[in-house]
Amino acid sequence: MPATTPELNNATSPFRRFLARYLPRRHGGLIIFYAVFTGISFLTRLALLAKAGHDATWTLSLLAAFGWGMLFDLGAAAFAALPLVVLLTFLPAGWFARRWQQALAHLFGFGLIYLLLFGTVSEWTFWDEFGVRFNFIAVDYLVYTTEVIGNIRESYNLPLIFSGVGALAVVLHWIVVRSGLPAQWFTAPPEPVARRLRAGAVWFVVPLVFGAVLDDDWLPAFRNNFNRELAKNGLWSLFSAFKDNELAYEQFYLTRPVDEAFATVRREIARDKSASFPSGPEARDTLRVVRHEGAELRPNVIQITVESLSADFLSIFNRASNLTPNLAEIAGQSLVFDNFYATGTRTDRGMEALTLAVPPTPGRSLVKRPKNEDMFTLGSVFRAKGYDTAFIYGGFGYFDNMNYFFGHNGYRVIDRTGVPKEDITFANVWGVCDEDLFRWTLREADASTAGGKPFHYFVMTTSNHRPYTFPAGRIDLPSKTSGRAGAVKYTDYAIGKFIRDASAKPWFKNTVFVIVADHCASSAGKTALPVQNYHIPLIIFAPGGQIAPGHIRELTSQVDYAPTLLGLLNWSYPSRFFGRDVRATDPKEARVLVGTYQKLGLLKDDDFLVLTPVRRQNQYLYDRTSYTLTDEPLDPAFAREAVSYYQAASYLFQQQLYREIKTEEFARLLAPPAQNDRAAPR
């Protein structure tokens, strides 16, 4: 019979007598860990439910969410317990006999509880920002520690958080100690090595079993995505996202014969009446020639890409908002896209779509993938026309691999590292204030003009980002404490000031100003892909009259931005863009491509098709008023179109075929059709 301690031999509690009889060995300490881990995970889920109370659906699906959650909690606990398994297996016999060794064990136990509680606080703040459990965004945050840690320090009262978590950890550890369980398991008689190894092997197999059979894809397709997110475990989701950060399309998604997929894509992207090459080696390519009659416009183009600027922040889309008076004034003199949608929920996704005009393929964006050099970009078209192209960013461009991507795709890079300290008047961990960024932009424009070259700049702001700090005295809201509202209003102020400052420049009338968001401020929603949270502004302001003011009301995707802009300039050029000139496309064919790192969607009119891993597809009716999705029968033609977009894009990237068209080839492709010996354009 296993040995027990005298205290527990005399215990009157049936539960403690059961433990004394059947779990006396040192590995029983793992039961404590599992109990504490799953208990804290359960309380975390309750706290997040309270936070999302008005968004969650209070039906029996919540019980299912908690049931699935317990399963994932156990799986996460099994992996988290592995260091403890190793310690309890290989510590020498009699290790817990001395007081200092017992004190060390208590310190270790306190540390584990502290880390678990700190994880809960981290999940709370992450949910507050994104409305989901830990995902690929959290993975990226672990990579870019300078910005993330700095952001946390500037946004939260860390001494209060650390001390509060520490106090609660002390209380929980005291409760565990008073239960008598540590005395049971950490003062048991020494065990033979063979017995410890056998027990350790059993505990080591547990996470292997969970890892082999448990996957996030097991989760049912809850009608409310908040309920589905509650079913997850944060730690499990974090490592799952790390594992699936880049997904092979052919392995996880529905596919078609490659040639058929390209035939569909070529037909769809040519609906803007652009020419294409129908045969030859280009059959597995999106290469075509876009032709326009008449003279081309050659203005400078400054594209201001605003961090997290949801359409809802602008009064032109939301009459209740009073945060953007300058943008409202600019919009009144501009071409405004009323139904313009981002492809994703991250800055790198916005950069990908606005620069490459490609669908959001699963996994990481192309900005952060290897072998993303010398690609066909909007900048490459501008450079072929003799323009200077630059990426101007107020932060450190190594974040999200931005400097590498733009620098290796022909753009000059200007970021915080190359600017003298005296040229920075205000900054937080993410970057300089927008006023500083726009002052740099004016200086670059002056230099390009002095050099006799037209210019195209991709300017990326940072002020509309937590901790939401900005220079004092600019607007009627305080820095930081007014939150995102203050940051949006400051960004609006800075853009207005930039336009006024630029109006004094000799190049002003010959410049087109584009104001567009990278993505929305919030990506959380009740549906798997909350389309309403992808609606962003696109405003094209041409003070010289090159582009007439007005409104484009058709559905437009970020991938359509580049070809539509070039169409407005009346340019002829060879193209590999997946987007098309929305002005030249039948409104009935308008569509939007949206995605997360796993889910891929196609919206056309009110029909919305979503592709998910394990080769699943679902079609919904999208209600633009209530933002709800209702199941509807699958339209095979619509499904083939959705699959073709994403499969063809993934194929081109995998085969490294989405390449820049060099100057000589650019000119040859633009030669009149009769002189082009490859094929006559359609």
pLDDT tens for each residue of 267-325: 999 998 877 664 555 689 999 999 999 999 999 999 999 999 999 999 999 999 999 99
Classify residue 589: in a domain, yes or no. Answer: yes
Classify residue 443: in a domain, yes or no. Answer: yes
Q: How many CB atoms lie within 10 A of CB 566?
A: 23
Residue 8 in this model has a pLDDT that exceeds 60: no
Residue 137 in this model has a pLDDT that exceeds 70: no
Classify residue 680: in a domain, yes or no. Answer: no
- Residue with more model confidence, 276 or 481: 481
- Residue with more model confidence, 540 or 90: 540
Q: Compute φ and ψ for 515, nearest 5 degrees.
A: -115, 115
Give me the chain's average pLDDT, please: 86
Q: Are 480 and 396 within one domain?
A: yes
Percent of the chain whose pLDDT exceeds 90: 51
Classify residue 681: in a domain, yes or no. Answer: no
Which pLDDT does position 7 carry in this prediction?
45
The mean pLDDT value for 534-563 works out to 97
The mean pLDDT value for 143-156 works out to 65
Q: Residue 83 belongs to what domain range?
A: 6-243
Classify residue 259: in a domain, yes or no. Answer: yes
Number of structural domains, the chain?
Answer: 2
Q: Which of 135, 156, 121, 132 is CA-nearest to residue 52?
A: 132
Q: Which of 369, 261, 290, 264 is CA-nearest to residue 560?
A: 290
Query: Can you tell me the distance from the alpha carbon of 336 to that of 386, in angstroms, rounded to the nearest whole number?
Result: 28
Task: Quickly state the pLDDT bin for 5 (edges 50, 70, 90).
Answer: very low
Host H or E run for residue 603: strand 600-604
Which pLDDT does position 542 carry in this prediction?
98
Q: Are 134 and 227 within one domain?
A: yes
Weakest mean pLDDT among 139-153, 227-241, 421-435, 447-461? 139-153
Question: Is the C-alpha dihedral spanning 54, 57, 58, 61 positive or negative?
Answer: negative
Residue 370 in this model has a pLDDT that exceeds 90: no
Task: Quickly state the pLDDT bin for 527 (edges 50, 70, 90).
Answer: low
**Can you spell out the DSSP letters for 508-570?**
GGGEEEEEEESS-S----SSSS-GGGGEE-EEEE-TTSSS--EEE-S-EEGGGHHHHHHHHTT
pTM over 0.85: no
Residue 141 in this model has a pLDDT that exceeds 70: no
Which pLDDT does position 13 carry in this prediction?
60
Which pLDDT does position 139 carry in this prediction?
64
- Residue with more model confidence, 445 or 363: 445
Q: Which residue has the tokens 């081109």?
A: 652
Q: Are 302 and 155 within one domain?
A: no
Q: Are 256 and 227 within one domain?
A: no
Q: Are 237 and 268 within one domain?
A: no
Which pLDDT does position 138 carry in this prediction?
65
Q: Are 260 and 361 within one domain?
A: yes
Which pLDDT does position 6 carry in this prediction?
44
Q: Which of 287, 72, 91 is CA-nearest to residue 196?
A: 91
Which pLDDT does position 9 carry in this prediction?
45
Which pLDDT does position 183 carry in this prediction?
58
Which pLDDT does position 488 carry in this prediction?
97
pLDDT tens for each residue of 598-639: 889 999 999 999 998 878 899 999 988 888 889 999 999 999
- Residue with more model confidence, 488 or 65: 488
Three-state DSSP at 130 gives helix
Task: Quickly state the pLDDT bin for 16 (edges 50, 70, 90).
Answer: low
Q: Are 465 and 551 within one domain?
A: yes
pLDDT tens for each residue of 168-196: 989 988 888 777 666 555 555 567 788 77
End-to-end CA distance of the chain: 87
Among the candidates 187, 221, 243, a domain finishes at 243
Q: Are 196 and 271 within one domain?
A: no
Which pLDDT does position 682 carry in this prediction?
35
Could you tell me the CATH number of the domain that includes residue 610? Answer: 3.40.720.10
Task: Quickly state the pLDDT bin for 2 (edges 50, 70, 90).
Answer: very low
Q: Are 420 and 465 within one domain?
A: yes
Q: Are 194 and 256 within one domain?
A: no
Residue 659 in this model has a pLDDT that exceeds 60: yes
Q: Are 206 and 282 within one domain?
A: no
* Burial of 187 (C-beta count, 10 Å sphere; 0-12/13-18/19+): middle
Residue 655 in this model has a pLDDT that exceeds 50: yes
Which pLDDT does position 252 carry in this prediction?
80
Contact 308, 344 (CB under 8 A): no
Which pLDDT does position 245 carry in this prediction?
60
Classify residue 633: in a domain, yes or no. Answer: yes
Residue 555 in this model has a pLDDT that exceeds 70: yes
Q: Are 229 and 259 within one domain?
A: no
Query: Can you tell me the distance from the alpha carbon of 225 to that of 627, in angstroms, rounded to the nearest whole number?
Result: 13
Classify residue 531: in a domain, yes or no. Answer: yes
Classify residue 1: in a domain, yes or no. Answer: no
Among the candidates 243, 261, 281, a domain finishes at 243
The mean pLDDT value for 505-512 works out to 98
Among the candidates 243, 259, 278, a domain finishes at 243
Three-state DSSP at 266 gives helix
Residue 514 in this model has a pLDDT that exceeds 70: yes
The mean pLDDT value for 85-109 works out to 80
